[in-house]
Chains A and B, each alone.
Chain A
C-alpha cells in the first residue's frame, strides 16, 4: 500500500519537474518553425534599443540577426523585462537571449551559456563636479547600479564570473550604500542631477557610460575598469544540441572577423577580446 503511494508520488513529482527541455527539443522546434525567437532588453543602447524607424537595433540585435542567418532561420524579437529573462524557465516562449548577459554561477543554475561573445569593461563614473580622482575615492559613498546586475554584485562584494578567459579582479570599492535602480539609464539619470544629490557615483558598463557622455551627460569615468565582464549568449537549460550549434556559429563569427566588425561598428572598439 505504502509502496504504491510512494510510486504515485514519485510519478507525480517526475511529471511536475519534467518541464525542463529535453536534448535537442528546442533546436528541433526552431528548425521546424524556421524562426529563432530572441529575447532582448529594448532599453539598453547601444546593445539593443529602438532606432529612429522604431525597430530594434544595436550590437546585440545585429549579432542575433547574424546568428539566425547562419542557422538558416528567420529572427523574431521579444522584449520581456530583464529580470524575467535572467530568471530562466522560459518554457519555449523564446529560444535564446543575445543580451550581453554575464554568465554568473546563479544564472548558470537556470540557464546554459553556449558562448562568450565579447567582454566589456565595467567602470565607475561620477558627476563632472565630483572631486573623486580614482574609483577608490568612492569608498564609503553612495553608489548606484542596475538591479540584479554584475555591477550590483561587485558592489556587494559578491561577484563570481567563472567563465573561461575572464580576467581576475579585486574588490577596490566598498560603498556606504548601494542604490539599486531598474536600468542603467535610470542610474545615470540620478547621477546627472548633481554630485551627491542622489548618488556620489555609479558602476556600469563602459560602453553605456561613453554613450551617455556622448549625449551630453555631465558625468565622467574614474579610474581603470573595475573588472572585465565576459558577456554570453544564453539559452534555456538542457538542450545540448542547441548549445553546440550556437557555440560553433559564434566560433565561426569570431574566426571570420564578423564579431569584431560589429563591435567596432557599435562601440568604436573591438571588445571581442580582452584588451589589457
Chain B
C-alpha cells in the first residue's frame, strides 16, 4: 500500500473519535462485568471499599478501565511508527498471556516437563520438518519445470501429482503411506513415512507456487536470452530464477510455516514430536491444558523463527532489486 505525504490530524487524537471510543469501551466493560475477576478486585481495593458486583462499583471500575484504554490508545498515537509497532505488539502479547493465566496452570509441572519436551519433542519436530522442507523444495522445482515443459508425459505426471497430493487431506496421506506401503511388501518406519507424506503434500503445493513464480516473468526475457544464444539451463539459472525467486519467497515461507505445524499430524503414527508429547505427558496427572499450552507456545516460537528468516530473505532480495 502506498502511503502518501498528505498530513492530517491523527484519527486517535480527534476528540469526537476518542469520546466515541470511551463510550464504547465503557459500555463493553460494564456489560462483561469484571468486578468478580482478580482485575476487578484489585481495582476495587485501590479505590476503597465497595460492594463487589453492585451497579455503582461496577460503573466505577468500567469507567477506570475505559479511561486507561483510551489513554493508552491516545498515547500510542503520539509515538513514532516503530515504537507503535513494538508497544502494540507487546500489549497484545501480555493480554494473550494473561488469558492463559486464567486457567490456573501449574508452572512447576510445565517446568519439570519442558526439558524433555525440547530435547525430545522440538528436536524431532525440527528435523522432521527440515528434511521434509528440503525434499519438498526439490520436488517443487522438478514439478514446476515439468509443468512448464512441452513434454506431454512430464506435464501429465506433474499434473497428476499436484492434483492427487493437493486433493487428499495430509492426515490421510500419512495413514496411506504408513499403512498402505506394507501391504505392498515394503515396511516403512514411522518417521520416514511421516517425512514422505509431508514432502509429497507440500511439494505439490509448492510446485504451483514455483510454476506461478516462473510464469510471472515476461516472455520477452526468455526470447531475449534465446536471442543471445543461452541454453535452457543457463537461462533458468541466470535470467529467470533470479527474477522469479523474490516472487516465490513470501508464499514459500508461508508453506514452510504451515508445514512446521502440520508435522504435528505425524504424531498419529507414534513419532515422539511436540504434539505427541503434549498429548501424552499430562495424561497421568490429568494436566492436559498445561502441556497443550506449552506445545502451543513452542509452535508459536518456532514459527516466529521461520518468519524472521523469511523476512530476512525478502529484505535481501529487496536490496538486490534496488541496486
Contacts and interface: CB of A to CB of B under 8 A. Distances in A.
A91 B270 contact: no
Nearest to B109: A52
B187 A45 contact: no
Interface in A25-68: 42-46, 49-52, 54
Contacts of A49: 280, 283-284
A87 B179 CA distance: 9
A250 B308 CA distance: 57
Interface string A76-108: 001111001001010111000000000000000
B268 A185 contact: no
A92 B269 contact: no
Contacts of B182: 19, 89, 91, 93
Contact of B284 (A51, A84, A216): A51
Contacts of B178: 84
B270 A78 contact: yes
Interface string B137-172: 000000000000000000000000000000000000
Nearest to B175: A84
A267 interface: no
B120 A54 contact: yes
B187 A92 contact: yes
A84 B288 contact: no
Contacts of A188: 286
B190 A80 contact: yes
A81 B269 contact: yes
Contacts of B281: 50, 54
B261 interface: no
Nearest to A83: B268
Interface string B288-313: 10000000000000000000000000
Interface in A153-183: none
Interface in B104-118: 112-113, 116
A134 interface: no
Given A84-B268, A89-B182, A93-B182, A42 B280 contact: yes
Interface residues of B, number: 27
A44 B284 CA distance: 8
B285 interface: yes
A275 interface: no
Q: How large is the interface on A (under 10, 10 to 19, 20 to 34, 35 or more residues)?
A: 20 to 34
Interface in B100-134: 112-113, 116, 120
A177 to B, nearest CB: 24
A274 interface: no
Contacts of A217: 286
B22 interface: no
A46 B283 CA distance: 9
B276 interface: yes
Interface in B235-286: 268-270, 272, 276-277, 279-281, 283-286
Contacts of A46: 284
B183 interface: yes
Contact of B286 (A54, A79, A87, A185): A185
Nearest to B280: A42
A52 B112 CA distance: 8
B185 interface: yes
Interface string B184-197: 01010110000000
A228 B160 CA distance: 51
B187 A91 contact: yes
A111 to B, nearest CB: 15
A89 B183 contact: yes
Contacts of B268: 80-81, 84
A78 B272 CA distance: 10
A51 B288 CA distance: 14
B187 A93 contact: yes
A42 B120 CA distance: 15
Contacts of A50: 277, 280-281, 283-284
B270 A79 contact: yes
Contacts of A92: 187
A47 to B, nearest CB: 10
A81 B288 contact: no
A189 interface: yes
A42 B185 CA distance: 28
Contacts of A84: 175, 178-179, 268-270
Interface in B178-233: 178-179, 182-183, 185, 187, 189-190
B196 to A, nearest CB: 16
A257 to B, nearest CB: 26
A93 B183 CA distance: 12
Contact of A215 (B120, B183, B286): B286
Given A19-B183, A54-B120, 6 more contacts: A43-B279, A45-B283, A91-B182, A185-B286, A188-B286, A215-B285
Interface of A: 19, 42-46, 49-52, 54, 78-81, 84, 87, 89, 91-93, 185, 188-189, 212, 215-217
Rank and list the top 10 A-B pairs by shortest CB-CB distance, nearest first: A91-B182, A80-B270, A79-B270, A45-B284, A215-B286, A54-B116, A49-B284, A81-B268, A91-B187, A42-B280
18 contacts: A42-B280, A43-B279, A45-B284, A50-B277, A50-B281, A50-B284, A51-B284, A54-B120, A79-B270, A80-B269, A81-B269, A84-B175, A84-B178, A89-B182, A93-B187, A93-B189, A185-B283, A212-B286
